[in-house]
């Protein structure tokens, strides 16, 4: 089956069976930032952005992403392309300020979770951050340090975008 998607900002036609997981397709496309973890959608190591929302690619059948409208293809972004985003720089800065050093296997889970919080909330509260990170498998950093990293990332994002402190 031919599946039309937009992968890392490039329109692509992928030959795959309908029920093949997005994870295996992305790894075949040399997107190695997408890691193989639990394969049940629990650990987050296979997280990618689908239409700008973080999802676990191991439980997405690639056929469900097919689009017949060439103007509105489903956009999939992996870390390889996300590194060119300005938000990635904010998140990297924030994690560095919080002295976070990721193991390399859970990077996409943590970075895309931070990105979704930055996108969704102007200034996420502790409870909102806790609710987002609660289901991520504890890997190389504890939750408190990760939360600090997200808060610093939000601050870096505000500084870069020149947002006033009281702007909402």
One residue of 23, 43, 79, 156 binding other proteins per CB under 8 A: 43
Q: Tell me if 35 contacts other proteins by CB under 8 A.
A: yes
- Name beta bridge partners: 55: 48
Q: How far is the CB of 81 from other proteins (least distance, A)?
A: 17
Instruction: Give the nearest distance from C-beta 27 to other proteins in angstroms.
Output: 8
Stretch that binds other proteins, among 74-82, 120-128, 131-139, 156-164 (CB under 8 A): 131-139
- First-last CA distance in the chain: 46
Size of the site for other proteins (CB under 8 A): 24
Interface residues for other proteins in 82-111 (CB under 8 A)? Answer: 99, 101, 103-105
Q: Determine contact, residues 11/70, Cβ cutoff 8 Å.
A: yes
Based on the shown chain and the rule CB under 8 A, indicate whether residue 141 belongs to the binding site for other proteins: yes
Answer yes or no: are the C-beta atoms of 58 and 38 closer than 8 Å: yes
Work out how close the CB of 73 gets to other proteins at its nearest, in angstroms, rounded to a whole number: 26
Instruction: Please provide residue 27's backbone torsions phi and psi, each rounded to the nearest 5 degrees.
Output: -70, -35
Q: Rounded CA gap, 132 and 53, in Å?
A: 13
H/E stretch holding 56 reads strand 53-56
Q: At what angle do helices 86-97 and 107-120 cross, to 10 degrees?
A: 110
Is residue 37 a contact residue for other proteins (CB under 8 A)? yes
The binding site for other proteins (CB under 8 A) comprises: 30, 32, 35-39, 42-43, 45, 99, 101, 103-105, 137-145
């Amino acid at each position: 089956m031919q599946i039309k998607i937009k992968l890392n900002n490039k329109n692509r036609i992928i030959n795959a069976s309908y029920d093949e997981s997005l994870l295996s397709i992305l790894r075949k496309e040399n997107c190695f930032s997408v890691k193989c973890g639990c394969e049940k959608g629990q650990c987050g190591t296979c997280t990618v952005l689908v239409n700008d929302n973080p999802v676990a690619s191991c439980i997405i059948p690639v056929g469900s992403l097919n689009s017949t409208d060439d103007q509105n293809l489903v956009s999939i972004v992996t870390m390889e392309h996300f590194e060119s985003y300005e938000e990635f720089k904010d998140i990297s800065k924030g994690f560095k300020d919080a002295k976070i050093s990721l193991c390399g296997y859970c990077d996409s889970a943590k970075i895309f979770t931070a990105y979704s919080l930055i996108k969704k909330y102007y200034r996420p509260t502790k409870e909102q951050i806790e609710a987002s990170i609660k289901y991520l498998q504890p890997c190389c950093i504890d939750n408190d340090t990760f939360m600090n990293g997200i808060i610093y990332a939000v601050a870096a994002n505000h500084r870069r975008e020149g947002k006033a402190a009281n702007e909402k």
